[in-house]
Chains A and B, each alone.
Chain A
Amino acid sequence: MGFFVAQFLTGLASASSLFLVAAGLSIIFGVTRVVNFAHGSLYMIGAFIAYSVASRFGFWIAVPVAAVGAGALGWVMERTVLRHLYKAPELFQLVATFGLVLIIQDAALWLWGPTDLLGPRAPGLSGAIHILDEPIPTYDLFLIAVGLAVLGGVWWMFARTRFGVLVRAATEDREMLQALGVRPDRLFQVTFFIGAALAGLGGALEVPRQTVTLSMDLTIIAEAFVVVVIGGMGSVLGAFLAAVLIAELNAFGILIFPEITLVIAFVVMAVVLIVRPYGLLGKAPQGAHAAVEIQAPAKLGKYGRIGGGLLLVGLLILPLVGSEFAVVLMTDVLIFALMAAGLHFMMGTGGLISFGHAAFFGLGAYGAALLSSKLGFSMWLALAGAPVIAAIGAALIGLFAVRLSGVYLAMLTLAGAQILWSLGVQWQDLTGGDDGILGIWPADSVTGTTAFYYLCFGLSVIAIAAMMAAAGGRFGLLLRATRDNAPRARALGINVGKRRWAAIVIAGMAAGLAGGLYVFSKGSVFPSTLAIPRSVDALVMVLLGGLHAPAGPIIGAGVFTLLEDSLSRLDYWRALLGAFIVAIAISAPGGIGGALSNWVSRAQRQRS
């Protein structure tokens, strides 16, 4: 009995920091409708600040300083970046805030260095208290108390202060509140400060419990997303219940099946989203309806076809005129173009936001690697298996995903990818864990750089052309109808769920084939092919090329891969990449493809 109580209290203590981060994320979302990917970075910065301040002034000074410091950083983020994105589609908000993640990560690397830091214990709370003969760390009990105190404080603020009333009103109907004379910018700034300060507090309080590392940001944000989605976006009590639920499931799950811990949160989230699509205590968004923006048909214009023809010729003769390095680099571009084309298909034509495209890419990659290494399949068979395996995974994720849209869909796909990533890391017998699977080489007939390049060229061109044809044809037309107005599409007799599901499966197949090619081009596969940054790479390629430009993924993959190749030689290149991502999301939402087609149509208008 005592053991279970101890385990329960440990779970509650772990829930505390998670709740602090998730509560801030949820409050910010409720008021501003921005899903802040960089919220985990505020948690990490809180921990780093607490570490530094504690070493000079002591832990108890460090905690409030860290909270205020993270709050100030959140306020700066709001003023410099996020306020430009309030009217942007949520996809751009997510991507731009991921750009902030990269910038803050490099800033922390520059300020605190790459080594993990071990912070001090909390003075006065270092011992343990015996409950039912089990020693419970005093600090854990303190954390539980802080979690409850913050829950009470937030409740008091919402119920008893004018600011809290305005926050709740804004969560319900922001436009109406503004029409009553409330300045949205002030409300947003204060909200951001408070939400960020809660994240910083959560980070600071973790310092005595774990080492401070540069990977804290993405670990916590993935969990916080799950908590907020399970609890219901905008509901602080929901975030608390969900944090406790997840932490307790982890605390007891680890006793039964230690490998389950990374997966369990995401499984719970998937189940909750099926039963209650807006979370335990969340509500369906109401009031303002999303404006329907009708896009021009997704077909290449005259100049696009000429450009495409020239590109094909250029790619065909590249091995004859280019260096070996250029051929290797262009092999990467072709593979990533295929991966991005899949995402572009579901996102541009289908309006289905995915933050987990790496799941399909990684399924193809691991699928091909396992077929080849464990079952001894030839490269050709393994390569044929890659899209099939990815399509099966996509079909499963798609079953859950077609009921959701917007932020919730983005979170579910992220969760799906995280489940696979944790399998990749933890299921060592099968996947080799962090060591990956090595020695996956192409068949003799395509073993040279040039031969493999032509293989990628052929497969990518065929698959991308097929998707472009589908997007421009009847399938794409019906899919766009489900994107632009799902209720009307349903009323016309279109099976919206089936169309969306098919789009996700097609996207999965394309990414899976790309993943298969990727494995054979590199000779190995690691869990990073399934990780969040890979998903974001795919997103950035699509946005960079242009979400609604038919050639978007090709342009985007090309520019992104070449840019990354040149940037990654610099120190702090991730910050540069992050700044670049932020700049695109704010100033060029149509991407390069959109800018090109505007330019062409303007030139044509001038001539006529």
Chain B
Amino acid sequence: MLEVNNLTAGYGAARAISELAFRVPTAGAVALLGRNGAGKSTTIKSVMGLCDIYDGRITLDGVTLSGQSPDAIARAGVGYVPEDRRVFADLSVMENLETGKKAGADGAVIWTAPKVFDLFPEIARRRDASAGTLSGGERQMLAIARALMGNPRILLLDEPSEGLAPVVVQRLGETLSALAVEGLTLLLAEQNKALARRLANNVVILETGHVVFTGTFDDLDRMPELLERYLSV
């Protein structure tokens, strides 16, 4: 279980989120929703140790993550699929997978290159191509595959559908929900409510760095005014 308690974080002197609290149960999935600038990305980055944490605590299965370096957090079992994918453009697909390769926090190796290629045959065909030549959808698949190569307990996905065609989003949705069904814990920041709903039961809505709603998507359906207020565009 990932627990975020009383989290206040940001960049340098700029505070982006305040007193955030939510949980992601083991083998569960939580979607962070909210408008641009609401603090979704910062929340994900806080878990990953990529921004400054001023107060609060983040734990994964009882192990404290907050205050650790990003590499230690990754080794504790957190997989990270960043906004804009950040694949290594000069490296081949295969080499990108190599950068993410490590045993899980418990020493287990479930994910290997052949296994992630089974999951994403699209990139298997291009294993020797440099990642810079991949399409947006292929890059997203590579970023997910690279994170899986680290055998994580929880996968953080920052705006996985951003900039992708609906058919590609559909395709990613299938794979990610299959992973969720197999028991991988997911925390995703997403603007695409349909994708979020498909992957997660629970939802946390952020607005200007604060949690304004925590509950299930079914709860949310009963409160259309919330959707109107915090998510309408």
Contacts and interface: CB of A to CB of B under 8 A. Distances in A.
Interface of A: 162, 165-166, 168-169, 171-173, 175-184, 287, 291, 293
B69 A172 contact: no
Contact of A179 (B12, B82, B96): B82
B209 to A, nearest CB: 19
Contacts of B95: 165, 168-169
Contact of A172 (B48, B70, B90): B90
Contacts of A181: 71, 74-75, 100, 102, 150
B88 A169 contact: yes
B69 to A, nearest CB: 7
Contact of A165 (B11, B89, B98, B150): B98
Given A181-B75, A183-B71, A162 B12 contact: no
Given A165-B98, A180-B146, A181-B150, A172 B88 contact: yes
A168 B99 CA distance: 10
B11 A176 contact: no
A177 B91 CA distance: 12
B171 interface: no
B16 to A, nearest CB: 14
Contacts of B80: 179-180
B70 A178 contact: yes
Contact of B99 (A166, A287, A291): A166
A26 to B, nearest CB: 15
B99 A180 contact: yes
Given A173-B86, A179-B82, 12 more contacts: A165-B91, A165-B95, A165-B98, A166-B99, A172-B89, A179-B74, A180-B71, A180-B74, A180-B80, A181-B71, A183-B71, A291-B11
Given A179-B48, A179-B74, A168 B150 contact: no
Interface string B49-83: 11000000000000000000111011100001010
A177 B74 CA distance: 10
Chain B interface category by residue count: 20 to 34
A296 to B, nearest CB: 13
Most buried by A among B12, B49, B88: B88
B70 A175 contact: yes
B99 A177 contact: yes
22 contacts: A162-B98, A165-B91, A165-B98, A165-B99, A168-B95, A169-B88, A172-B89, A176-B88, A177-B99, A178-B70, A178-B74, A179-B48, A179-B70, A179-B73, A179-B74, A180-B71, A180-B74, A180-B80, A180-B102, A180-B147, A184-B71, A291-B12
B70 A169 contact: no
A179 B71 contact: yes
B150 A178 contact: no
Contacts of B48: 179
Contacts of B70: 175, 178-179
B142 to A, nearest CB: 12
Contacts of A166: 99
Contacts of B99: 165-166, 169, 177, 180, 182
Nearest to B45: A179
A176 B98 contact: no
A176 B158 CA distance: 13
The 10 A-B pairs at the shortest CB distance, nearest first, are namely A181-B74, A176-B86, A179-B70, A178-B70, A169-B88, A169-B99, A180-B100, A165-B95, A178-B71, A181-B75
A180 B50 contact: no
Contacts of A180: 71, 74, 80, 99-100, 102, 146-147, 150
A176 to B, nearest CB: 5
Contacts of A293: 12
A168 B94 CA distance: 13
Interface string B92-106: 000110111010000
B120 to A, nearest CB: 17
Contacts of B98: 162, 165
Nearest to B86: A176
Interface string B166-197: 00000000000000000000000000000000
A176 B82 contact: yes
Contact of B88 (A162, A168, A183): A168
Nearest to A161: B98
A162 B94 CA distance: 11
A183 B99 CA distance: 12
Nearest to A177: B99
Contacts of B90: 168, 171-172
A205 B215 CA distance: 70
Interface in B81-130: 82, 86, 88-91, 95-96, 98-100, 102
A90 B78 CA distance: 32
Contacts of A177: 88, 99
B86 A287 contact: yes
A448 to B, nearest CB: 54
Contacts of B69: 178
A171 B147 CA distance: 19
Contact of B91 (A172, A175, A291): A172
A601 to B, nearest CB: 16
A150 to B, nearest CB: 21
B149 to A, nearest CB: 8
A449 to B, nearest CB: 51
Most buried by B among A169, A176, A181, A184: A181
A175 B150 CA distance: 16
Interface in B142-176: 146-147, 150
Nearest to A186: B71
Nearest to A166: B99
